[in-house]
Amino acid sequence: MLLHLTQTHQQLQETAREFADKILIPSADRCDRAEEYPAENVAKLAELGFLGILIPEQFGGAGLDNVALSLALEEINRGCASTGVTLSVHNSLLSNPLLNFGTPEQHERYLPKLASGEWLGAYAITEPDYGSDAASIETSCRREGDEYILNGTKAWITNGSHAGVIITFATLDPSLGPKGVCAFVIESTFPGFQVGKKEKKLGIRGSDTVQLVFDEMRVPAANLLGEEGEGFKIAMHTLDGGRIGIATQAVGIAQACLDATVAFAGTKTQFGRPLPASQLVAHRVADMATEIEAARLLVMRAAMLKDAGLPHGKEASMAKLYASELANRCARTAVEIHGGAALGRGAPVERLLRDAKITEIYEGTSEIQRLVISRHCFPRDKK
C-alpha cells in the first residue's frame, strides 16, 4: 500500500520529530529515574495542538486523522515512551470514543477542554482481577433517578491521577455478560471518585499509572456513553484504535533502539576495526532497520483503514503484535551490541529495554492479538 503524506502530515511529523530531539530525549532518563510524570512535556504538547489531533476544528482541535496521530506518536515515543503513552491514551482511548459515541452535549462539554489540554483524558476498563476479559468486569452500576451509582476498582490506569475526564465501564448485572456492560464519561470531581495506589513499574516509569476507586460514585445519566448495554461494543471498537497507538509506540521505541545502536557502533572499534565493519553487527543493524520499516507500514495500513471507515480489527492486531515483539527484539539487540555500556542505570538502551516490554502486554497481550488475528483467518460459522 502506497502511503501518501500530505503537507499537513509532513509538517506535523517534522514538528514532533524536532520536539522529540530537543525536549524529550534530553529529559527522558530523568523522568524515568525520578518516576516523574512529564507534566511540562504534556503542557508543551498541548500548546502545539498534539492533545487535539483527532478533535474537529469546531471544538478547538486540529481535525486531523489517525495517520497524522500515528506519525506524531512514533516520533514522541522515539523520544520518551512515558510521554508517548500519555499522549496516546488521551487521543486514542478518550477523545476517539467520545467523538464516535458521544452526544452533541458531551462533545460541547468535553472536547474543547481535551483539545486545549485543560483536561487530560484516561480510559478505565482494567480491574485487579480482569484485564483482557473485558466482559467479566465487576465494577457495578445502577440507575437511581437521573443518576447512575458506580462501585468498584479499576487498575493500571494510565493518566489516572492527572485526568480530568475518564471513560470507564461498569456492569448492570454480571450474569448478562457483555450485554450488561455500560460505558460512562466521568469527571474526577464526581462524588465518590478516588485515586488509589500508584503503581511501581518496570518501564514507562514517568507515566502516571494508578488504581481508581469508585465508592457510590454518582454519575449523571447524561454521562452514559452510548446506550445501556453498549459498553462492551464501545470498548472493543476503542481498543482497535488503542492497539494502533501502542503499535506506533513500539515502532518509536524500536527506532530509538536503532538510532542508539548506530550512534554507539559508529564510535567504537573492536580488534582494530570499526565496529560497523563487523559483519555480525552490520547484519543485525540491517535486520533491525528492515523490520522497523515493515512494522511502520503495518501501523500505517491499520491507520489508513480506520480513517477510511473500513474494518481494521485484524490489521490493528497484526500491527500491535508484530511491532511490540519487534520493539523487544530491537531492545535486546541494542543492549547486546552496547555490551557493558548498556548495563548502567541511565544508559538510554537500558531504559528502552524496560520500556519495550509493556508494549507486549497492554491493549491486549500478544496472545490476545494472535487470538483476534486467528479468528479473522478461519471461516466463520454462518449458522
> pLDDT digits over 248-292, tens only?
999 999 999 999 999 988 776 665 666 665 788 889 999 999 999
pLDDT at 279: 80
pLDDT at 1: 43
Domains of the chain: 7-120 (1.10.540.10), 123-231 (2.40.110.10), 233-377 (1.20.140.10)
Q: Which residues of the chain have pLDDT under 50?
A: 1-2, 383
Q: Can you name the residues that pair with 184 across neighbouring β-strands?
A: 168, 224
Cα(369)–Cα(313) distance, integer angstroms = 10
pLDDT at 185: 98
Q: Which amino acid is at 332?
A: R
Most distant pair of Cα atoms in the chain: their distance: 79
Q: Residue 371: count other Cβ atoms within 10 Å of its Cβ.
A: 13
Give this prediction's pTM: 0.95
Q: Residue 197: count other Cβ atoms within 10 Å of its Cβ.
A: 10
- Residues labelled as active-site residues: 363
Cα(151)–Cα(69) distance, integer angstroms = 34
The conformation of residue 10, written as its DSSP 8-state character, comes to H
pLDDT at 24: 98
> What 3-state class would DSSP assign to 216?
strand
